[in-house]
Amino acid sequence: MIHQKLRLFSGTSNPPLAQSICKHIGHPLGDLYFERFSDGEIFLQIRETIRGHDAFFIQSTSKPANANLMELLIFIDAAKRASTRNICAVIPYFGYARQDRKSAGRTPISAKLVADLITRAGATRVLTMDLHATQIQGFFDIPVDNIFAIPLFAKDIQEKNNMDDIVIVSPDVGGVVRARALASRLHVDMAIVDKRRPAPNVAKVMNIIGDVSGKHCILIDDMVDTAGTLCGAVDALLERGATKVSAYASHGVLSGPAADRLKKSNLHELVITNSILQPEKVMKTEKVRIISIAALMGEAISRIYDARSISSLYE
C-alpha cells in the first residue's frame, strides 16, 4: 500500500538495504541526486516535492563514517528547507556510538556531539537498531526508536540448530542484558566471558563464568569490529570444553584484519545483519552469513508513519 504522505530516501551507505525496505513496505524509493565536488564536498538535491510530507532518510553512518554522517545532515537540512512535515533519520548502524562517555581525561563524548548535530540539523525523529549504548537515546532531545535484532537471531538459531546443547554467551559483562534476553527467548542457559581491555580494539580473556563443557556456544554481541575479541573468546570457550562456537552480531563493522582473522579462526560461523553494506572481501568469507533486517526496519517505519506501537514488534 502506498502511503500518500510518506517519502523514503536512501543515502549512499547502503542502497540495497533501502531498496529492500521499500519493497517490504510496498512504497517506491524517492528521487535523490548526489554529487561530490573535487575537494570532497557533498551536494544533494531532492528531485520531488516533499512539502507537508513525512520523509525517512535511510543511512548507516558506517565506513566512511564522516562522509556518511555529512550526507545524513545535508539531507536533513535540504528536507527542512523544503517544508517537510516530519524528518526521520533511519540509521540502521549508528556510528560513534562507542564514544558514549569520557573514557579518560580531555576526551570527547562524540556520541552526544553526533546526536546534537542530527537534532540541530532539523530531524524530528531517529530510528536505529541495537545501539552500542542504550543511554545514547537520552542524548537526543527528539524521540528515538531503538529496535532490536534479537527476535531475528532467535528465529534463525531455532531453525538451524538442535536446541538441546545450546548455551548463549555474552562476550563481556556489558553485554549480559542482551545475552539474557536471547537466552530467555530460547529457554536455554547462558555464560559470560570475563575480559579486560588494555587498549582500544584489544581484549584479554580472563575467565569464563558458566558451564560451557560439551555445549554449542553462541556468542551474541551488538557489533564485531576487528574480530580480535571474538576470536579470543572462541579459543577460550573451546579450551573450556565447548564443542562448537558460533556468533551473532547486529552490526558487522569488520574493519582492518577482521576478514583474515575470521578465516583463520576456530569460529564455526558469524551471523550478521545487513545494517552495514559489506565489501567483497567479507562477502567471500565462508564463515560469514548475513540475514536481512529489511522487514524489521520496514515494519518499524510503517508503524512510525501510522503512529502505531513500536514495542509491540517484540511481544
The number of domains in the chain is 2
Same domain, 111 and 25: yes
Same domain, 140 and 205: no
What pLDDT shows up at residue 207?
Answer: 86
What pLDDT shows up at residue 114?
Answer: 98
Of the candidates 197, 203, 198, 200, which has an alpha carbon nearest to the alpha carbon of residue 231? 203
Same domain, 63 and 121: yes
Of the candidates 279, 313, 315, 278, which has an alpha carbon nearest to the alpha carbon of residue 297? 313
Same domain, 134 and 154: no
Whole-prediction pTM? 0.94
Same domain, 173 and 281: yes
Side-chain half-sphere exposure of 87, counting CA atoms within 13 A: 23
Does residue 245 form part of some domain?
yes
41 known ligand binder: yes
Does residue 99 form part of some domain?
yes
What pLDDT shows up at residue 2?
Answer: 55
Of the candidates 256, 196, 261, which has an alpha carbon nearest to the alpha carbon of residue 235? 261
101 known ligand binder: no
What pLDDT shows up at residue 200?
Answer: 62
Q: Is there a contact between 301 and 281 (Cβ–Cβ < 8 Å)?
A: no
Take residue 200 and report the three cell numbers written for it: 582500544
- Along the 315 residues of the chain, how does pLDDT read in single tens digits? 557 899 999 999 999 999 999 999 999 999 999 999 999 999 999 999 999 999 999 999 999 999 999 999 999 999 999 999 999 999 999 999 999 999 899 999 999 999 999 999 999 999 999 999 999 999 999 999 999 999 999 999 999 999 999 999 999 888 999 999 999 999 999 999 987 666 665 556 568 999 999 999 999 999 999 998 899 899 999 999 999 999 999 999 999 999 999 999 999 999 999 999 999 989 888 999 999 999 999 999 999 999 999 988 876
Does residue 1 form part of some domain?
no
Give the residue numbers marked as catalytic: 195
* Domain region containing 118: 6-148+295-314
Say how many C-beta atoms besides its own lie within 10 A of residue 43's C-beta: 11
What pLDDT shows up at residue 85?
Answer: 97
Q: Which CATH number characterizes residue 228's domain?
A: 3.40.50.2020
Q: Is there a contact between 52 and 80 (Cβ–Cβ < 8 Å)?
A: no
30 known ligand binder: no
Same domain, 175 and 238: yes
Same domain, 233 and 244: yes
Of the candidates 38, 41, 72, which has an alpha carbon nearest to the alpha carbon of residue 55? 72
99 known ligand binder: yes
Q: Is there a contact between 234 and 266 (Cβ–Cβ < 8 Å)?
A: yes
Same domain, 125 and 239: no
98 known ligand binder: yes
Backbone angles phi, psi at 109, to 5 degrees: -110, 80
Degrees (nearest 5) of the Cα angle 258, 264, 270? 60
